Structure 1
Amino acid sequence: MTVQHSSRYRWVVLTMCWAAFTMTSVDRSTWGPASASVSDSLAVPVAAIGIFATCYYIGYVASNAFGGFLTDWLGGRMILSITGLVAGSFMIVFGEIDSITAGLIVQGIVGLFAGADFAGGLKLIATWFSPTQRGFAMGVFMTATSLGTVIANAVVPRMITTSGWRESYHLFGIVTVVISILCFILLRDRPPGHELERERTDRRPARTGSLPNLRPLLRNRDLLLLGITGFGGLWGTYGFVTWSNTLMVKANGIDPVDAGTVLVIFAAVAVAAKPMVGWITDLLRLGQRLPIIVILTVFGGTLLVFGTFSSLTQFLWCAPLLGLGAYAYSPLTAALTPVLAGKGLVGSAAGGVNAVWQLGSVAVPAVVGFVFQATGSFYAAFIVLAIGPFIGAATCCFIRPDRPPRNTPRRTGSDPAVPTPTTGHTISA
C-alpha cells in the first residue's frame, strides 16, 4: 500500500474538501427557496427568476472550465482557499443588493469563484485515496451537493419568515469564508514521497507549479461522453432544485415552508445514498457505468410521475425516490473521471467534464421558466426536466471504462509494466 493511501491524514483532506464543497452547494441552493421573496423584493418577473440562476451557472461553468487547469497547476489547497474566500464574500454582498442588474452581476461572480472547488476537491481525493477506496470517498464528497439543498431549504424559508431573505445570504457567506480559511491552514496537496512514486508509475512528472499538458484530454472520447451524461443528469437535478419550490407554490398553491420540506426530504435521502452507492460499487466491483444508466433512467421516470401530482401528500411520498435518482449517480460520475483520464490530469479532466455537466444547470432554469410561463402547465415543466436524465442514460451506454486513458504511456521493450488507473493490474503494449 502506498504512502498516500495508508495515511490517516486523508480523512482530514476528505473532511475539508467536503466542507468547502458543501458550503458552495448551500450557496448555490439558497436561490431556490429565496427566489420568490427576492422576486417580490426587487420586482423580478416570474419568467426572469430562472435568469438569476442562469447567471450563477454561467460563472460556474467558466470556473469549472479553467478551475481544473488551475488545480493541476497550483494545487487543490490554493484553489479551495481562494475561491471559497471570494465566493463567500460576494454571497454577503448579494444580501445587500437593491436592483436586478446588481443581483445578476453578483450571482455571476459567486458562480465564477464557486465552481472550481469540485476539481480542487476531486484532485485532492484522487491523490490521497487509492482507486479501491475512491467510490466511498467520492460518495462522501458528493453528499455536499444534496446536503447543500437540505440546509438551504431547511434554513432559508424559516429565516425569511423571521428576519428576511438577506440574512440567509449573509449567514452562508460568512460560513463559506471561514471554511476557506480553514482549508488554507489544514490542507496539503500531496503526501511526502508522492512525486517519486508518481514519476515511477506514471512515467511523467506532474508537479504542482508546472503547466499541465491538456492535449490527451482533448482526444479522449469517453470523457466527452461522460460530459454529456452528466449534462443530462444535472439538467434534471438542478432544474428541479431551482424551480420545484416556485412551481409547487405558484402552480399548486403549496405553502412555501411545506415546499421547502419536500426539498429537504428529496435531498436528505441522497446524503445517505451517495456514500452507500459508492461503498456498494467498491465492494461488489460493479464499476460505474451500469449503475449510472439505471439511476438516470429511474430519475427521468420519477420526474414524469412527480409532474402528475398536485397535493402536498403526493409530493412528500415521491420526494425520497426522486432524491435518490437525482443525486445517487453523481459520486459514480465523479469516480469514473480519474478512471477515464488518469490521475496525472484528473484536476483538468474534472474541471472540463464538470463544465460540460454544468451547462445543463445553465440552460435548464431559463428553459423551464419559458415553458412554464408559456403553458402554465406544471406537467409540461417536468417533461422538460425529464428529458435530460434520459439523454444522459442513453449516452452513458457508449462509455468504455476498460479503455486505457489516452495519456497512459505504452510500454517500450525495456519499460516495466504500467499500473492501470482502476485496479493497479498491469497493461501491456
Structure 2
Amino acid sequence: MSSTAPTPYRWVVLLLCWAGFTMTSVDRSTWGPASAAVRDSLQVPLAALGIFATCYYIGYVVSNAAGGFLTDWLGSRVVLGTSMLAAGALMIVFGSTTSIPLGLTVQGLVGLFAGVEFSAGMKLITTWLPERELGRASGIFMTATSLGTVIANAVVPALIEHADWHTSYRLFGGVTVVLGVLCAIFLRNGAVRTDHTRRALPDIRPLLRNRDLLLLGLAGFGGLWGTYGFVTWSNTLMIKGSHISPVDAGIVVVIFAGVAVAVKPVVGWLTDRLRLGMRLPIMVVLVLFTATLLVFGALRSYGAFLAVAPVLGIAAYAYSPLTAAMIPQLVGGRLAGSAAGAVNAVWQLGSVLVPVAVGPVFRASGSFYAAFAMLAIGPLLGAVALLGVPDDRPHRTSGARDTDGRLAAAATSRGGPPTA
C-alpha cells in the first residue's frame, strides 16, 4: 500500500490504468461481433471459429501468470507501455491478415501481451492510492471489462456494415498503440520499489505458501464460472430451452451486462464508505449470485427473464472489484503485481472451463434448469472457499484501523508474506 500522503497524481494513474485495461478489453471483445465477417472473409469453417478465441485465451492466461512477476521486477510503467504497444500493433496486423494459421498465431500473441494489464494496473493503483480509496478505485478499474464488451458490440457491427472487419481491428489497434505511448510517458512506478531493489528478481515463494491467496483464487474462479458461463450459454439456453427468440434473448443479455458498468464502482464505494471489509461483501454477493442463477433457471417467459436480468447482472459482477481489491490486502504492495497476475490466471480458468462443462449437461439432460444449476455451483463454492479467509472488517472502536497490517499478520501465520 502507499505509505505517503495521497496526491492528485493518483487520479492520473487510475485514469491511464483504466483506459489501458478498457482498450485491451475492447480488443478482446472485438472477436465476438467480428467473427462472422472473419469467417466469410478467410473461409473459416464454422466449427473452427472458436479456435481463434481459444488461442487468444491461452495467451491471456499465460501472460496473467507471468505478467505479474514482470510487473514486480521491471515496473508497471515499462510493462504497461510495452505490452499495449505490442498488443495494438498485433491488432493492426490481424486486421490485415488473409491466412488462417497467421490469424491464429496473432490472436495468441495479442492475448499474450494484453493479459498483463490487470496485474500492472492493480500494482499501480495499490502503490498510488490509499487503502481507504482502494475499493472505489478497483470498482472503477474493473468497469473496463464490461465497458470493453459494450464498446465492441456497439461499434464493430457498424464498422463492418459501412466498411469491413479489417477496419475495426486497425482502428482499435491504433487507439491501443496511442494509449501505450501515453502510459509510457506519464506513468510513474511510485515508491514501493527502491533503487536498490529495482533490478532484483522478486521472490514469489511466499505467494505459494499463502493459503488465503489460494482461497481467494478459488473464490474468483467460482465467480467467473458463473459469470462467463452465463455470458457464453444464456442466449442458446433461452432459445433452445425456453423457445425465446434470438433478438429477445440478446436484449436480456444486454440488460444483464449493462448494469455492470454502474454496479462495480458503486459497490467499491459503498464498501469503502461502510467499512465492511472485502471478504463479507464478496461472500454475500456470491450467495446472491447462486440464488439468482437458480431462480433464472426456473423461469420460462420473456417478461420474467427481463425482470430478473438486472438483479442477476448485479450479482454476477459486483464481486469482481472486491476480489481485486482484496489481493494487495493479503500480500502487500511489494508482490501485488505477481499476486494479481497469478490469481487472475486462476480466475480466468473458470471462464475457460465452464463452457466445456455446461454444454454436455444441457445436451444430456435437455434441461434448462440443470444447466443453470451447473452454473450456480461455481459461485456457491467460491463463497464457501472464503470461509477460510480471516475476517477483514475494520474494528468499529478504532478510527482508522490498519486492515492491511492485520491481514498481513494473519497471512504470515499461514506462511504468507508480510505487507510491504
Normalising by structure 1, what TM-score? 0.83
Q: Report the CA distance shift for 1:33/1:395 in structure 2 as closer, same or farther (over 3 A).
A: farther
Superposed, 1:323-402 pairs within 5 Å as 323-368=313-358, 379-402=369-392
Q: Which residue among 231, 234, 255 is the counterpart of 1:241?
A: 231
Shift of 1:345: 0.9
How far apart are the structure 2 equivalents of 1:289 and 1:368? 28
| 1:243-280, Cα deviation, whole Å (9 max, x unpaired) | 44566677756446x65544443233111111111111
Q: Is the 8 A contact 1:53 1:362 kept in 2?
A: no
Count of matched residue positions in the alignment of Structure 1 and Structure 2: 402
* Structure 1 residue aligned with 2:46: 45
Shift of 1:84: 1.2
How far apart are the structure 1 equivalents of 2:300 and 2:96? 36
Instruction: Find out whether 1:64 has 2:72 as its counterpart.
Output: no
* Structure 2 residue aligned with 1:422: 404
Q: Report the CA distance shift for 1:24/1:373 in structure 2 as closer, same or farther (over 3 A).
A: farther
SS of 1:343's equivalent?
Answer: coil
**Residue type of the alignment partner of 1:286:** L
Q: Report the CA distance shift for 1:374/1:38 in structure 2 as closer, same or farther (over 3 A).
A: farther
How far apart are the structure 2 equivalents of 1:266 and 1:33? 18
**Residue type of the alignment partner of 2:230:** F
| 1:370-405, Cα deviation, whole Å (9 max, x unpaired) | 5566667655544443322222122122212559xx
Instruction: Find out whether 1:10 has 2:10 as its counterpart.
Output: yes
Q: Report the CA distance shift for 1:124/1:97 in structure 2 as closer, same or farther (over 3 A).
A: same
* CA-atom RMSD in angstroms: 3.2
Superposed, 1:192-341 pairs within 5 Å as 194=191, 207-244=197-234, 252=243, 254-255=245-246, 261-308=251-298, 313-341=303-331
Q: Report the CA distance shift for 1:425/1:39 in structure 2 as closer, same or farther (over 3 A).
A: closer
How far apart are the structure 1 equivalents of 2:129 and 2:14? 9
Q: Report the CA distance shift for 1:141/1:327 in structure 2 as closer, same or farther (over 3 A).
A: same
241-250 or 316-325: bigger deviation = 241-250
How far apart are the structure 1 equivalents of 2:141 and 2:70? 20
* Structure 1 residue aligned with 2:398: none
Shift of 1:302: 2.6
Q: Is the 8 A contact 1:371 1:381 kept in 2?
A: yes
**Residue type of the alignment partner of 1:77:** R
How far apart are the structure 1 equivalents of 2:229 and 2:164? 25
Q: Is the 8 A contact 1:50 1:242 kept in 2?
A: no
Any gaps of 5 or more consecutive residues in structure 2?
A: 394-400, 414-420
How far apart are the structure 2 equivalents of 1:25 and 1:99? 24
SS of 1:280's equivalent?
Answer: helix
Q: Is the 8 A contact 2:139 2:266 kept in 1?
A: yes
Normalising by structure 2, what TM-score? 0.84
Identical counterparts, % of pairs: 62
Shift of 1:427: 7.2
**Residue type of the alignment partner of 1:189:** N
SS of 2:282's equivalent?
Answer: helix
SS of 1:397's equivalent?
Answer: helix
**Residue type of the alignment partner of 1:60:** Y
SS of 1:133's equivalent?
Answer: helix
163-172 or 108-117: bigger deviation = 163-172
Q: Is the 8 A contact 1:34 1:165 kept in 2?
A: yes
How far apart are the structure 2 equivalents of 1:396 and 1:383? 21
**Residue type of the alignment partner of 1:213:** D
Q: Report the CA distance shift for 1:326/1:299 in structure 2 as closer, same or farther (over 3 A).
A: same
SS of 2:188's equivalent?
Answer: coil
Shift of 1:228: 0.8
How far apart are the structure 1 equivalents of 2:365 and 2:45? 19
**Residue type of the alignment partner of 1:173:** G
| 1:283-325, Cα deviation, whole Å (9 max, x unpaired) | 1111111111111222233334444556655444333222211
